[in-house]
Amino acid sequence: EKLDVKAMEKAAEYFCGEHDFSAFCGNAKMKKSTVRFIRSITVQRHGEELWLEFTGNGFLHNMVRILVGTLIEVGRGERKVESIPALFGAKREEAGYLAPGKGLCLMEVRY
């Protein structure tokens, strides 16, 4: 499908930095902190594929898949780029859908 990659890139910028990602956590009973630091998110088109790469200090349960679902909603025009900051510290149902895990790949872990 056609996605507005430029809008997705702009939305991804809002996710970078330290934020409360509770709306992007698939574990409703999470007792630990939901604050995480995202160093970068890149959105690149490779032919027919769209590659999204996330770098951060840690990720919550299903966090990357929910971030991807939210970015796809932006790319489809279903969510405005400017709506992203309101999601920090919000409830799970306010963020995007849970994208399928197909194609998800852990590239590297650094300690």
Count Cβ atoms below 10 Å from residue 29 Cβ, excluding itself.
5
User: What is the band of 31 on the pLDDT scale with cuts at 50, 70, 90?
Assistant: confident
**Per-residue pLDDT averaged across 42-61, rounded?**
93
DSSP-derived letter for residue 10 is H
User: How much is the pTM?
Assistant: 0.94
The predicted pLDDT at position 95 comes to 96
Give the separation between CA 7 and CA 19, rounded to whole angstroms. Answer: 20
**Per-residue pLDDT averaged across 24-38, rounded?**
91
Give the separation between CA 98 and CA 95, rounded to whole angstroms. Answer: 9
pLDDT in tens, 56-81: 999 999 999 999 999 999 999 999 99
Residue 104 has pLDDT above 90, yes or no: no
Q: What percent of the chain has pLDDT over 70?
A: 100
CA dihedral for 26, 32, 35, 37, sign (positive or negative): negative
Spatial neighbors of 68 by CB under 8 A, at least 6 apart, are 52, 96, 99
